[in-house]
Amino acid sequence: MDLKTLLLSLMLDSSTWFLLLVGLISVSIVTWYMKHKKNALIRWPIVDALPSLLQNAHRIHEWTVEISNSVGMTIVGRGPLFGLSEVLFTCDPRNVEYMVKTNFSNYPKGPEFLENFDVIGNGIFNVDFEEWTTQRRMAHTVFTSKNFRNYITSVSKMLVEDALLPLLAHVATHETAVDVQDVFLRYAFDGIFTVIFGRSSNYLSINFPDDEFAKAIDEGTDGMFLRHVMPWWKILRFFNLGAEKKLAVARKTIDHHLEEYIASKREELRNGVESSDLLASYITSTTSQAQTPTTDTFLRDQVLSFLFAGRDSTGTSLTWFFYLISKNPQVEGKILEELRLVHAKKENTGGVKKLFVFESEDLKGLVYLHAALTESLRLYPPLPMNLKMCLRDDILPDGTVMKKGMKILISVYAMARMESVWGKDCLEFKPERWIDEDGMLSHVPMQNFFVFNVGPRTCIGKDMAFTQIKLAAAAVLINFHVEVVNGHNVRPQPSLVLHLANGLMVKIKKRI
């Protein structure tokens, strides 16, 4: 066969050669994958870590721990859209403190964060720079007001006494199992709803009513999470398909309810009705105080931001706390010792014993309760991830080179599980790590505690959250024993909020 005939034959049979080439490449990829599949993070050509991310999206939080232990606490990779951007993952407290505190101005949320969380709008958790400074100043004025703090305390105590404890007593009497995550999320929603709007949603009641507004907030949270693991979400939004269609419906429901609530509050204020709630405080703030007009859109974005944050931080924190307590009876015993000392001094003598409710002042000096709650928050932070971007080229404390525009993912969840940060007992539920030799709360571990953020963006509702959590936790513990149902599968839900994927089914037994 001459050269010309050979070349012609090869050209005519090019499809065979092409298929052979594809086969060889496929075999090579499969062989390479089988060799590396035990690794928590596989770096693919072009798409880098995207296949690993998609493969582990259903267990995203556990995966961040695995890659931190196997690869390192700080990892730089290429973004999902064919390497057009770089992404930094870190759970190193040195780097985190540098970004959120030391060089705060260089690490804003960024425009992409605002786009991903557009359901919340231009609220305090989404915006940066001057707009954030103005909103923060306004929120600080409201949240530090003695009148508002007293209002939060009275709302929380009333909700515990009139709704939470009666519901649990009803469950205990009927000896049925209940999803206590659902109960605590209802408690948190009703609490923050009342704090914001000045009236109860009645979401926490014995008949477990449906609530269209609360459900829409849940769906909004889930939809915004999916945007972080689906690079094609903008295509779905453009065609109004799948998760984006569901998110759009949820947003319409949220906007409809908020429009009604804001209009109702404005009408109340016009009629001279006095109110201490957050919405009333914002509406009555003068332009000179806020330097921001209190338009309906502005109010909508503010109250929705606090609704998302207040509900999730309180409800999720309480659920994980009682899960840990049920698995650590020695911790429960020590907390009960503290609570019973207070209870013994305040218990009414004679008559029928009633469900006992603490005053917030009763709980301020309880060291072990505070330590146990803080330890629970360390292990199971309600917001396990924080997202940022790099504004200008920089170098982090560990030497990592940062480039302008780089996206940043901070895992507070993974940080809690690093031996180099918390010691060999990092996986243990150990309230003692927060107590010093003199039996007082220790501030040393706080340098690695970013649950409520640190620096300028420290959570402005931190005190409110602790008030709601402590009042509920103390009242439930002194009145009831909470026992997780045998065999119940407990694991984190892949979401922006660290919910339990299967809820927390428990049995409730009266204690006093």
How many C-beta atoms surround the C-beta of residue 417 within 10 A?
A: 21
- Domain ranges (residues) in the chain: 38-510
pLDDT by residue, tens only, the chain of 512 residues: 554 454 445 444 544 444 444 444 444 444 444 444 545 666 655 556 667 767 777 888 999 999 999 999 999 986 554 445 788 999 999 999 999 999 999 999 999 899 999 999 999 999 999 999 999 999 999 999 999 999 999 999 999 999 999 999 999 999 999 999 999 999 999 999 999 999 999 999 999 999 999 999 999 988 998 887 787 899 999 999 999 999 999 999 999 999 999 999 999 999 999 899 999 999 987 544 545 557 999 999 999 999 988 888 899 999 999 999 999 999 999 999 999 999 988 765 444 457 999 999 999 889 999 999 999 999 999 999 999 999 999 999 999 999 999 999 999 999 999 999 999 999 999 999 999 999 999 988 899 999 999 999 999 989 889 999 999 999 999 999 999 999 999 999 988 899 999 999 999 999 86
CATH fold of 38-510: Cytochrome p450 (1.10.630)
Q: At 507, is the secondary structure helix, strand, or coil?
A: strand
Q: Cβ distance 98 to 105 under 8 Å?
A: no
Q: Could you give the C-alpha distances from 319 to 104, 183, 300, 471, in angstroms and in order?
A: 32, 9, 28, 14
AA identity, residue 353: K
CA distance 16 to 18: 5
* pTM of the complete model: 0.88
CA distance 54 to 221: 19
Question: Is 459 known to sit in a ligand binding site?
Answer: yes
HSE on the CB side for 188, CA within 13 Å? 29
What's phi and psi for 441, nearest 5 deg?
-65, 130
How many C-beta atoms surround the C-beta of residue 485 within 10 A?
A: 13
DSSP state of 347: P
Q: Could you give the C-alpha distances from 150 to 146, 164, 278, 474, in angstroms and in order?
A: 6, 20, 12, 19
Q: At 65, is the secondary structure helix, strand, or coil?
A: helix
